[in-house]
Amino acid sequence: MLLTLLFLVGLVQVGLPVLLYLFRDRVLFFPAAHPAAEEGLNSLSGRLQVALVRIPTPDGRTLSAYDARPSIGVTSDSPVVLFLHGNAGNIAMRAPQLEDFVLGTGLRTLLFDYSGYGGNEGRPSEAVVTVDGLAAFDSLVAQGVPPRNIVLYGESLGAAIALAVAQERVCAGVVAQSAFSSLSSMALRVYPWLPLVSVLARSSFASIERAQELGVPLLVAHGTRDDIIPFAEGERLHAAASPEAEFVPVEGAGHNDFFALAGPEYLELIGERARAWVRLAAEK
């Protein structure tokens, strides 16, 4: 009886973590095919200029994206935000948020869908969405946007992708909003009774190591009542970065109501920091 119990415990402690690791993409990514990107444009008020564009990927596919900008105030020297969204939904669901973001920051913003999202071909994985992020970055450069004018804004899981892109490309700076410090750290929080899950996840989305090596400004923003990615994760990510990294706590904000509670002051701050980072990059 005791041997059977020990066997079952061992099976759970080893077998379940291995299964979670093997099927991690299904645990991490929740893409929505609908509404289509074209439909998302119908939810915009018309207060900004926005175009639906296609971003080419290295394997010949395309990714849907919104290229949005304010009607006035954007010049060739202005920052351009590459917005990397979280792990669920698609860009059409975020169209109203994009409108508020662009108007609040005053910055041109490219918001794109990863592979498997919004009707895009392909299936998301850590490697695939990182390639997608790089393709979106490179599409801006191909249009003539200087790399040091591009600010990477990552939301939730998108922050991990933003840091991965920043490791491969020169940029003006990175904003990590509602971010985890590492997938391993999150695994330990979600599955504290399965420590092997954390061990297996050590090499995945290692944001904390990337923050330590980041050679450009970093701003970490996090809601104090985030019940999906705890506030402590944002604190840990910020603590690992250079002393110049900035931490912006948003009092009372959770994971999904971050922008609503952060308010226009937060978006103004992001616009100010982006412009300052681009000026700093131009001086180097």
CA dist., res. 276 & res. 151, Å (int): 11
In contact, 62 and 56? CB cutoff 8 Å: yes
> Does 238 participate in catalysis according to the annotation?
no
Measured CA to CA, the distance from residue 10 to residue 194 in angstroms comes to 11
Those residues whose C-beta lies under 8 Å from the C-beta of residue 227, and which sit 6 or more positions away, are 254, 255
CA-angle at 164, arms to 163 and 168, nearest 5°: 110
Q: Which residue has the tokens 């399965």?
A: 194
Given the residues 25, 204, 255, 257, the one annotated as active site: 255
- Crossing angle, helix 95-105 and helix 258-283, to 10 degrees? 50
Active site residue 255: yes
156 is catalytic: yes
Contact 258, 223 (CB under 8 A): yes
Select which of 64, 115, 139, 156 is catalytic: 156
Name the catalytic one among 64, 132, 226, 238: 226
| Catalytic annotation, residues | 156, 226, 255
